[in-house]
Amino acid sequence: MIEILLKTLPFFAVIGLGYGAGRTGFFTEAATAWLTKFVFYFALSAMLFRFSANLSLTEVFDLRFVVAYLWGTAFVYAIATIVAFVRGLDVEESAVEAQCAVVGNVGFLGVPMLVMLLGDAAIGPVMLVLAVDLIVFGSLIVILVTGSRDGRVSVRILRTVGLGLLRNPMIVSITVGLTWSALSIPIPGPLNEFVILLGAAATPGALFAIGASLASKSAERVAVAGWLSFSKLVLHPAFVAFAALVLFPVEPYAAGVMIAAASLPVAGNVYILAQHYGIAPHRVSASILISTAFSILTVSVVIGWVSML
């Protein structure tokens, strides 16, 4: 446990460095936004392309894996939604809270950290979790919020969802990489060096950007944010573990990577959606802040446990 904690600490130390830079004003919100944009559109995309270009679709896609992750995630999504309805929230706020409970920071934190800690074999499972989060749950919140406001699910909503997926650089880079791999085209030396060089900026850049963005977050509605953080850090990995190890047994190593990915703190893109739609941004902000702070310990515990599977 201590050994795993010491291995994860450097990652969270970079997040802490970014947080300090943001809190002191050395790194402004505008600077954070531009750094995030660079990581999202360029560095992380290069890393994901390089990873996926060296994999085949058969190595990445595992139906039992997807079913197990979907079942565990959907169960926690349902719990968070029911709790929200019991508290008298409408569909829109319930959808945002449920998103906080199940969508972790897989892209910016999970991909670089889990691959480094669990080995290169974690690349496929982590990218599969990322794809499910983006395609299924990233689409679901848009459908629920927009459908609730329009009173129905229309073709326009589905078109918006489809275009959003096509414009997402993480989805695009993974798809292009897998296509490149399927065509068995060797990556030219200069291109390979280019994506390695650019992708190397993804890990420190993403972690620093996470920390700097947390500096602008506030811990309002602490009770609700605490519940959502508990759902994300404890309930989500617990139910995903139950699904992957008991209900739909997945190969132990892949199951471990899936559970570790499920233990990650609330993703920053949930805040972007909440702010875009004007739905409980402060609540989401607090959930990201609290879950990230506690994940220093909880993620270490989970990674230590799955390493023994």
pLDDT tens for the chain, residues 1 to 309: 677 777 888 888 998 999 999 989 898 989 988 998 898 889 988 988 888 887 777 767 889 999 999 999 999 999 999 999 999 998 889 999 999 999 999 988 888 889 888 988 898 899 899 989 988 898 888 888 887 766 555 667 667 767 777 777 888 888 888 888 888 778 788 888 998 899 889 888 888 988 888 887 766 668 899 999 999 999 999 999 999 999 999 999 999 999 999 999 998 888 888 887 888 888 888 899 899 999 989 999 999 898 887
Return the pLDDT at 272.
Answer: 80
Return the pLDDT at 162.
Answer: 73
Return the pLDDT at 134.
Answer: 87
Rounded to whole angstroms, how far apart are CA atoms 248 and 199? Answer: 34
Return the pLDDT at 80.
Answer: 96
Domains of the chain, earliest start first: 2-306 (1.20.1530.20)
User: Is 8 within 8 Å of 198 (Cβ atoms)?
Assistant: no
pTM of the model: 0.88
Cβ neighbors of 129 (< 8 A, separation 6 or more) are 69, 106, 110, 257, 258, 261, 262
